[in-house]
Amino acid sequence: MDVKEIARNEEIASLIASGVEAQGTALAMVRNAALQFAELIPRDYKPEDVPSIVKHGRDLYADEFSGDHNLSAYFGDVATLSMAGDMPISFVNRKKEEQHTTGTGAVELSKHDLKSAAKAAREDMGIGRAAGGGRTPRQPNGPVEHVFSLAEFKCQLAGLFGHSKNPVKVLNDVLAEYHCEVTPIEERIQKRGRAKAA
């Protein structure tokens, strides 16, 4: 099929344009709400208080977010940056360039750069999020099954051993959760030798 035969449809174009405009309007409204929220916070907080203040704000207005986690996260990022104030922030923007700004300056950035700036601000304040955004890990309903291809596993191991300074430690840190460990062959041979000698 020649894809050039598919013509532009003005109704589709109009729907897309309306969606983009609505998203921009939604972000601007949520940004203004977050800025207003941050302005109402008494200025006697410490950097380590920021996460609990932001979480409380997101919880206060959870009903209004109607389960939209992206807008709720955006609210939190804007509030964090606003509370950072004149603190200098450096981060890598979408163009893969290092950008320098302040918390106040960062609230005017595009959504993705603002998110990166907020992450940098949290790290600079010593309040960086844990991996997974602090979400509670889901508990499995039954026995956990790990399915993977041997080829994929070998590829991952090759990458780990090719690019890590201490691949055995990295593996053992991961495997500790499963009560296993990796023992280099030399150590196993030595252990067997000692066991036979005893």
**pTM, to two decimals:** 0.60
Torsion of CA 78, 84, 86, 92, to 10 degrees: -70
State the Cα–Cα distance between residues 96 and 13, nearest whole angstrom. 30
State the Cα–Cα distance between residues 34 and 28, nearest whole angstrom. 10
In the chain, where are the structural domains located? 3-124, 150-197
State the Cα–Cα distance between residues 54 and 62, nearest whole angstrom. 12
H or E segment to which residue 25 belongs: helix 10-39
Give the residue from 119, 90, 120, 84 showing the smallest Cα distance to 103.
Answer: 84
Kindly state the tokens that stand for 90.
């450096």
Kindly state the tokens that stand for 38.
């941050």
Geometric angle at alpha carbon 105, from 18 and 72, rounded to 5°? 50
What is the pLDDT tens value at each position of the chain, 198 positions in all? 888 888 888 998 999 999 888 888 999 999 999 999 999 998 888 888 898 999 999 999 999 988 889 999 999 999 999 999 988 999 999 999 999 999 999 999 999 999 999 999 988 887 765 445 445 445 545 544 444 555 656 666 666 666 667 777 777 777 777 777 777 677 767 777 777 777
State the Cα–Cα distance between residues 179 and 176, nearest whole angstrom. 5
